[in-house]
Homo-oligomer: A and B are copies of this chain.
């Protein structure tokens, strides 16, 4: 099977898991379930649960205990987008060609749907306790919450919001890249490794590879903004320049940025290749994520 077909197979498996864990739309409060489900089913590449599943299998994980964590991770990613789109934040009316949650359900429900998804992510992850005795669950939960919070994604988001319209130092840019996108990628791969019983040292190696993937992904984003076309990218190019946004390319230039993507990618793949399990698809996935053209 080629990469695209394998990817589609995995996405469809993840959609099925998400369906299983999404709340039923019922009761007086059914509108909030509807808003949550609308947000989650808006599509997206499902990269985080995919990386989690692949890393879990890489370390020999075979049970369904990973599934509530996969669903929880996608719920956390989704809540962050729902709140990001709010008028007080990015004020976006469309995402992936669909109206954003607060446009469809109203502003108050946009806030509440985000809250509900974050809370439900933990409710969902806690279902792992009823599935099997797995000594990794407490640690996996700590990683999930830690990487999603003020020392992870929210921390990056805060610094990003505060940086709007101001010149950005290199240190602060690195901080945003490492936390805003990187933290959930790290958590996804770490949780996969932890629940499969990987050693502390292995979990740290996985974290380091995931950090490289997250950073390379971001730099590639900055590169595409100046090298791609609106047609290929599906969104306006040169948007960073228009918005006076300091990016990795601003500091390093195009050539060095492209070299850094190569270096980060190489390190991540070498790390993954150093483990003994089934890793063929994971390596292809990393290459795809980093070298994508849109």
Contacts and interface: CB of A to CB of B under 8 A. Distances in A.
B115 A88 contact: no
A79 B126 CA distance: 21
Nearest to A114: B115
B28 A161 contact: no
Contacts of A88: 87, 107-108, 110-111
Contacts of A251: none
B109 A161 contact: yes
Contact of A32 (B107, B114, B145, B154): B154
Interface stretch (A117-125, A185-193, A242-250, A269-277): A117-125
Contact of A108 (B23, B89, B108, B149): B89
Contacts of A197: none
A27 B79 CA distance: 24
A156 B116 CA distance: 12
Given A115-B114, A129-B138, A150-B23, A155 B32 contact: yes
A119 B123 CA distance: 12
A148 interface: yes
A142 interface: yes
A141 B129 CA distance: 10
A150 B146 CA distance: 23
Interface in A18-62: 23, 27-29, 31-33, 36
Interface of A: 23, 27-29, 31-33, 36, 79, 83, 86-89, 107-112, 114-116, 118-120, 122-123, 126, 129, 138, 141-142, 145-146, 148-150, 154-159, 161-162, 171-172, 175
5 contacts: A31-B158, A88-B107, A112-B158, A129-B138, A129-B142
